[in-house]
Amino acid sequence: MDLDDFRQRLNERLTQVLVRNEQANPHLRRLLEMPADWGEREVILADRALLDGLDTEARAELAAIRTALERVEDGTYGTCAGCGAPVGDTRLHFLPFAITCLRCAQR
């Protein structure tokens, strides 16, 4: 698994969500203007005030991306949060912020 590749894909996904929602919350623009530093973005994404004004879908997506990024950093990315099995590269390719394997997701 190429972690840098997944990290980049998560970052792109994050940028898409931010661009799509920046009208709803001016703080998002600040985040977009920042250098794409993972640690800093992650900290800001943990700020609940940032999520105010966003719709449920955007909030859920940002939370999922943040969780995936945390798992990249702590080395558990790609391991199912439910059963510990590999999530699978194919699943991660289509759903880079998936933290469970398909079986656990369907449970």
101 is a contact residue toward Zn ion (CB under 5 A): yes
State how far the Cα of 10 lies from the Cα of 4, in Å rounded to an integer.
10
The number of helices, as runs of H, and strands, as runs of E, in the chain is: 7, 0
Nearest to 62 by CA among 101, 7, 15: 15
Binding residues for Zn ion, rule CB under 5 A, total 5
Residue 19 CB, shortest distance to Zn ion, in Å, is: 32
Residue 92 CB, shortest distance to Zn ion, in Å, is: 13
State how far the Cα of 36 lies from the Cα of 55, in Å rounded to an integer.
24
What does the block give as tokens for 29?
A: 């623009």
Nearer to Zn ion (CB atom), residue 20 or residue 91: 91
88 is a contact residue toward Zn ion (CB under 5 A): no
For residues 58 to 87, the per-residue mask of contacts with Zn ion, x marking binding by CB under 5 A and - elsewhere, is: ----------------------x-xx----
The torsion angles phi and psi of 79, rounded to 5 degrees, stand at -105, 130
Which positions touch Zn ion (CB under 5 A)?
80, 82-83, 101, 104
